[in-house]
Chains A and B, each alone.
Chain A
């Protein structure tokens, strides 16, 4: 209110655009704007209804039922317990284990999986014989369904007759044989290996697309200025790949918070909760134990974790990438 310039701005920049000559009267403008709004509402309505019914309503219902002791049967829940489900959850060792497992997988993904995919993408960006074949081969695992991947690798990692241990035996490395998925100390690395096999192709394609968006001239110019291959990568390619890397890290982290099907098929969260994730715990309580109230509490925690992370990440890490898109849309109308 102390800044007249701010409050005056709308008048100075009419939304209909400045037209020379006598403009339409205020009534006409209002009517036209109303009609515009009606059109927008008409087009947005179906999507909004679907979004409300399928996304917003379930979130609200889950938040509501998370405050009840409820087995999911017989109408609406009645046994109100307040935040009891949440206190029980935060006290539970399984929940702490879920968080720890998620964190380990996130750290491994960021430190191993993404750099590996980036390296492959840069390699496959070079001219070489059969480049398209390699790209296709590396991307193929991503096309398989999680369940098929799970079944495949539970056979490969089976302790007695599995391919992994047989290969180790064949090359004389018996002492490296493990009961991979059945040993609490090896199950997370084994799970991570399977995840890497499954998902690196996706990130590779992402990075490849990002790399191809960088004009070759920039690299050439740096080379003329005497930059070595490493310096070209470090100071030209990597910074220009920044947006792609940031979105890849984002997808990887959100995906890990929701990780379910691969774990469910491979280990069921075992042995002894060693590979359990939040989503697996939620499934156990919701569908096996029919403690739907408690399972709702887990889903609410998952939702809050994902949302807080997503908002913070968008605000602090990806701010530059999204500038001019979402955040400043108002100014460009």
Chain B
């Protein structure tokens, strides 16, 4: 009796252990040997755990397997943070899955340095992506990822409150923008909602102003020279100071969160503030946290700033994409080509999972505001990835933190530039 029980327990333990080992071991071994016509397994890790992404991704995998009976796609959806830590492990061990989610930028560069990603070669053979969508995945002229969606940051504003304050059209220049803020304030309306506690929403202002004043090339250069003390970066801080001095933000913004019931999104979404600078997800968060303002909601891009290097048509944003592992079979690339076909991509866009990464995909968007975002993005002449993705985490956080200090009134534009430079230099 006791013997048999022990055997049972041991059997269970062995089964559990082998399951665990199997789960860990996966990775690159399976399907790394591509034999034409033979059985191929593609390991696919993605972070689309929420609907509609999950269904669409599963649908793509099923449809591709139906067309190619020799291919098995093993899909592993993961939560964002779990995915990040798992990727950190496989980066260290230099064994990546065949296809995996990426946001491009600094992390993709790390993965490239670790030798776990592969160059796509001629990316035009895969799909006609917009240059804004593709920019984040290109390093030194080569493409290491393909986009599935892309979005941008801009001003989401309340048309009714703008009209009440006598602002007839969305401001296109920085002076006009400051003027609109003054008019709103004079009319007793809180011009801007800001989540000061979370810091990242505040850094969008500085980043956009740095793009306009110092220019995209200066931001790219700073990644290698670690020098943010140039005149353009200080000027960006000065322009932001002009705005902060008008006291445009809601009461108590320094401790406001982004998506809580009294946070930034809720303040705009309940009509208590006239605008916010936020990415394409803003309408849905406004609706969730504050009820939403429906037809009154409008979008305009960050205004032009005179005297700088950048153009008003350059956008800040980011999106989701996929990279392929260094040992991935040819079928992995073929599968990405399959999901980048216009009709497959349109299904994705129509479902509301994200904004199109393919040129011409805008037609599939139903929401008028999101369509504006997508057309603005499709016509963008330059693109900057979110700085916390483009730079190492320490530098990104220092930008957030210093800019928060500038907005709180404790740091000068020069001190912001110096603090970011110091961290960037220490990071090497």
Contact = CB atoms under 8 A, between A and B. Distances in A.
Interface of A: 69, 73-75, 88, 154-155, 158-162, 179-184, 187, 267-268, 270-273, 284, 288-291
Nearest to B196: A271
A161 B262 contact: yes
Contact of B255 (A161, A182, A273, A290): A182
B312 to A, nearest CB: 31
A289 B393 contact: yes
Nearest to B110: A73
Interface string B48-73: 00000000000000000000000000
A234 B198 CA distance: 49
A290 B393 contact: yes
Contacts of A290: 392-394
A267 B398 CA distance: 18
Contact of B262 (A160, A268, A284): A160
Given A179-B254, A270-B255, A288-B393, A73 B410 contact: no
Contact of B254 (A74, A75, A161, A271): A271
A289 B398 CA distance: 8
Nearest to B428: A69
Contacts of B213: none
B197 A267 contact: yes
B396 to A, nearest CB: 8
Contacts of B92: 73-75
Interface string B85-105: 000100110000000000000
Given A159-B252, A272-B410, A284 B404 contact: no
Interface of B: 88, 91-92, 196-198, 250-256, 262, 272, 392-394, 397-398, 404-405, 408-410, 426-428
B249 to A, nearest CB: 10
Contacts of A154: 255
6 contacts: A69-B426, A73-B92, A181-B255, A270-B404, A271-B408, A291-B394
Contacts of A181: 252, 255
Contacts of B398: 289
Contacts of A289: 393-394, 397-398
A69 B428 CA distance: 10
B416 to A, nearest CB: 13
Contacts of B393: 288-290
Given A289-B394, A289-B398, A73 B88 contact: yes
A158 B393 CA distance: 30
B394 A183 contact: no
Contacts of B196: 182, 270-271
A183 B197 CA distance: 12
B266 to A, nearest CB: 10
Nearest to A181: B255
Contacts of A271: 196-197, 254-255, 408
B374 to A, nearest CB: 32
Contacts of A291: 394, 427
A267 B252 CA distance: 12
A270 to B, nearest CB: 6
A291 B272 CA distance: 39
Most buried by B among A160, A183, A289: A289
Contacts of B397: 284, 288-289
A135 B53 CA distance: 53
A153 to B, nearest CB: 11
Given A73-B92, A183-B252, 18 more contacts: A73-B91, A158-B252, A160-B251, A161-B262, A181-B252, A182-B251, A182-B253, A182-B255, A182-B256, A183-B254, A268-B197, A270-B254, A270-B255, A270-B404, A271-B197, A271-B255, A271-B408, A272-B410
A154 B195 CA distance: 14
Contact of B252 (A74, A75, A182): A182
Contacts of B256: 182
Contacts of A273: 405
Contacts of A268: 197-198
A184 B408 contact: yes
Contacts of B197: 267-268, 270-271
B404 A272 contact: yes
Nearest to B400: A288
B188 to A, nearest CB: 15
B206 to A, nearest CB: 15
A187 B428 CA distance: 36
A85 to B, nearest CB: 10
Given A270-B196, A289-B394, A159 B251 contact: yes
Nearest to B407: A272
A307 B183 CA distance: 58
A291 B198 CA distance: 19
Contacts of B91: 73-74
Given A182-B252, A272-B405, A158 B262 contact: yes
B139 to A, nearest CB: 20
A187 B427 CA distance: 32
B420 to A, nearest CB: 13
Contacts of B254: 179, 182-184, 270-272
Contacts of A288: 393, 397
A327 to B, nearest CB: 46
Contacts of A179: 251-252, 254-255
A302 to B, nearest CB: 20
A226 B181 CA distance: 74
A124 to B, nearest CB: 35
Contacts of A69: 426, 428
Nearest to B260: A154
B286 to A, nearest CB: 17
B306 to A, nearest CB: 31
A161 B405 CA distance: 26
A162 B255 CA distance: 13
A160 B260 CA distance: 14
Nearest to A85: B426
Nearest to B408: A272
Nearest to A179: B252
A267 B255 contact: yes
A182 B407 CA distance: 13
A88 B426 contact: yes
A270 B251 CA distance: 15
A270 B398 CA distance: 14
A84 to B, nearest CB: 9
A161 B252 CA distance: 11
Contacts of B250: 160
Nearest to B272: A160
Nearest to A272: B408
A75 B92 CA distance: 8
A196 B405 CA distance: 29
A71 to B, nearest CB: 8
B199 to A, nearest CB: 8
